[in-house]
Amino acid sequence: MLVTSIELLVELQERDCRIREMDGRLRDMPARKERELARLQEHKQRLAEAEQEAKARQAEVKGQEVEIQSRREKVAKLRQQQFEIKTNKEFKAIESEIAAIQAEISSVEDRELDLMMKVDATRSDVETRRKALVEEESAVQTDMLQLDEAAVGIREEVEKARAARGELAVGFDAKWLAEYERIFERKDRALVPVKDGICGGCYMQLPPFVIHDAKRHTGIVTCTNCGRLLY
């Protein structure tokens, strides 16, 4: 094969590598979009969890309020009973019961105060996550638009590259072109140089006769190890 033909085949391979790289980017686009949407979903999940936590804390506070109210009503009833009793002993017994209930009320109020502080913290967390979600939605929308625009540009570039590649392939020896395309489908590169007796594809030492034939450029020469075309 003439040196000029090898040079053209090297150029053809450069175009094919570029087309392959762009095709790979296009194939990766759906996965990249999925990653963007997954990132957004994570923010939504965090917000939902924070909102659920805030509701749970608020429910606990409400439970404490109900418990306090119940005890206060009990104290009120006991106070009413004190007006109806006849002995000092009974009065003191009720007074002691009232004191115990009031101590319970105080304890519950302490728990309620602690829960209210936690409610404030969870509300703050909800607000923070809500703002983060809004920012993330905007970022994801921008990223998705950029990906769509990039995909359009890549497709246009691929079309032009394929057309140019087709023009360059016209006139190539059919046998050489078929062998090149067969290898290129399976390898990162089909045509590689021989440097210092080493294959430029698999980096293995080549037999002397292969090196000699590759330098002569008189026919198809392949690496005895990886099968790539050599020049």
Return phi, psi of residue 179, to 5°: -65, -40
Number of domains in the chain: 2
For residue range 84-108, list pLDDT tens digits in order. Answer: 888 889 999 999 999 999 999 999 9
Residue carrying structure tokens 């993330």: 136
* Pair (148, 203) in one structural domain: no
Residue 32, domain CATH = 1.10.287.1490
Q: What is the mean pLDDT of residues 133-154?
A: 96
Residue type, position 62, single letter: K
- Confidence class for position 4, pLDDT limits 50, 70, 90: low
* Pair (111, 62) in one structural domain: yes
- Asked whether the whole model's pTM tops 0.85, one would answer no
Q: Give the domain extent around 199.
A: 173-231
Report how far residue 19's alpha carbon sits from residue 13's, in angstroms, rounded to the nearest whole number.
10
Report how far residue 52's alpha carbon sits from residue 125's, in angstroms, rounded to the nearest whole number.
11
**pLDDT cut 90: percent of the chain above it:** 84
* Pair (87, 194) in one structural domain: no
